[in-house]
Amino acid sequence: MKALIMAGGIGTRFWPLSRKNMPKQFLCITGDKSMLQMTVERVCRTIDINDVYIVTAQSQTELVHQHLPNLPVQNIIIEPFGMNTAPCIGLSLAYLKDKMEGNESLLVLPSDHVIKDTQGFLNSLKLAEKPAADGNLVTFGIVPDYPATGYGYIEAGGQIAEGVYRVAKFKEKPDFETAKTFLQQGNYYWNSGMFFWKFNVIWQAFAEYLPQVMSILQEIIGMWQKDGEPADLKDVYAKMPKIPIDIGIMEKAEKRVVIPVNYGWSDVGSWKALAEISPADENGNFLPKRHFALDAKDNYVRSDKFVSLIGVENLCVIETDDALLITAKDRSEDVKKVVDALTATKQDDLL
């Protein structure tokens, strides 16, 4: 079994901590290890580090080295630029083609999610082996605990084994009312973007459902096989359709199953989401060690300084060397708009 971890995200949602040269997966925001390090550690409970591959951007390879010094250099797959998950996974499959057996399992994971219950995660991988061996594309669906409108959903159909269900349908991000009915019906799960499949099954799926991508992948393999200079993939990779694998393959495939999981997952998609999984004091505050709080509750503050809060609640406050963000917790997704504004006004020092 091998693992492929996607670590090319640019992560604007954690500005001002995340920057162009320091995306979310390299931040130590949930502890003293980066999200990438924690993802790899989790995977390495069952997969050897030599069988872990990281697909990332050229500009981030040095960071990957720093965060994962034990990872073999050749296990870093470089995407010329971000083109969404189908091209990214396709490129990785092309890279792995001569390194994997056709019936070898491949686990595909994002690098910037939190999973609290590692044993639950490992159990879910065990559950995935049989359906994957039977030729299914396996997805992991998060048991929802509130009617989220920010995720796609997977509707589970008939059970085919203990804890394993046929996928009835992939659902786009719903409106709030629809999300509530999903929650009530009980057989809808958040699409986590984690996959498990046999190499030849997903390779065949690319050929069948994304022939255009497969043809580019074959071209790339040909370039790699040529002697001489390392191949420059930019021009050929640019021809890829910018398509997520969910839409490009998962929604079309016939043999696909979902394994519902409930192991304390979070995609940590905003400062608010991070606040929710961070330890808080008796007033719901997450504060630097040195602080003074008076009538302050449910605030999330990151700063190296002495922080004093008086009469404020539900704020996210992030201070870095050059920037200070203060946002209402419920508005923390709008941090993207700060980054947009900085980009539009070319304030590169803050990006």
Q: Alpha-carbon torsion 74, 76, 78, 79, what sign?
A: positive
Sign of the dihedral through C-alpha 341, 267, 243, 17 = positive
Task: Decide whether 73 or 310 has the Cβ nearer to a copy of itself.
Answer: 310
Instruction: Give the binding-site size for a copy of itself (rule: CB under 8 A).
Output: 37
The only residue of 1, 168, 338, 343 in contact with a copy of itself, by rule CB under 8 A: 338
Residue with tokens 């370039």: 223
Q: Copy the structure tokens of residue 302.
A: 């990151």
Least separation in angstroms between residue 22's CB and a copy of itself is: 16
Q: How far apart are CA 108 and CA 203, in angstroms?
A: 14
Nearer to a copy of itself, 276 or 295 (CB): 295
Site membership for a copy of itself, residue 1 (CB under 8 A):
no
Q: Which stretch binds a copy of itself (CB under 8 A): 109-117, 163-171, 237-245, 305-313?
A: 305-313
- Minimum gap (Å) between residue 92 Cβ and a copy of itself: 36
Residue 273 lies near a copy of itself (rule: CB under 8 A): no
342 binds a copy of itself (CB under 8 A): yes
Nearer to a copy of itself, 246 or 319 (CB): 319
Cα Rg of the chain, angstroms: 21
Could you tell me the smallest distance in angstroms from the CB atom of residue 146 to a copy of itself?
Answer: 21
Q: Which member of 119, 158, 184, 294 binds a copy of itself (CB under 8 A)? A: 294
Contact 41, 71 (CB under 8 A): no
CA distances to 323, 335, 339, 344, 351 from 347, in Å: 12, 15, 9, 8, 7
- Rounded to a whole number of angstroms, the minimum distance from the CB of residue 325 to a copy of itself is 5
Q: Are 275 and 329 spatial neighbours (Cβ–Cβ below 8 Å)?
A: yes
Pick the piece of the chain touching a copy of itself (CB under 8 A) from 3-11, 122-130, 216-224, 328-336.
328-336
Q: From CA 202, how far away is CA 108, in angstroms rounded?
A: 11
Tell the residue number behind the tokens 């995340």, with chain if given.
Answer: 18
Among candidate residues 188, 168, 190, 204, the one with its CA nearest the CA of residue 273: 190
Q: Distance between CA atoms of 265 and 80, rounded to whole angstroms? A: 30
**Does the footprint of a copy of itself cover residue 331 (CB under 8 A)?**
yes
Min CB(29)–a copy of itself separation in Å:
18
Q: Indicate which single residue of 225, 311, 346, 348 sits in contact with a copy of itself (rule: CB under 8 A).
A: 311
Angle, helix 199-209 to helix 211-225, in steps of 10 degrees: 120
Q: Is 17 in the site for a copy of itself (CB under 8 A)?
A: no
Residues that bind a copy of itself (CB under 8 A): 16, 290, 292, 294-295, 303, 305-312, 315, 317, 319-328, 330-332, 334-335, 337-338, 341-342, 347, 350
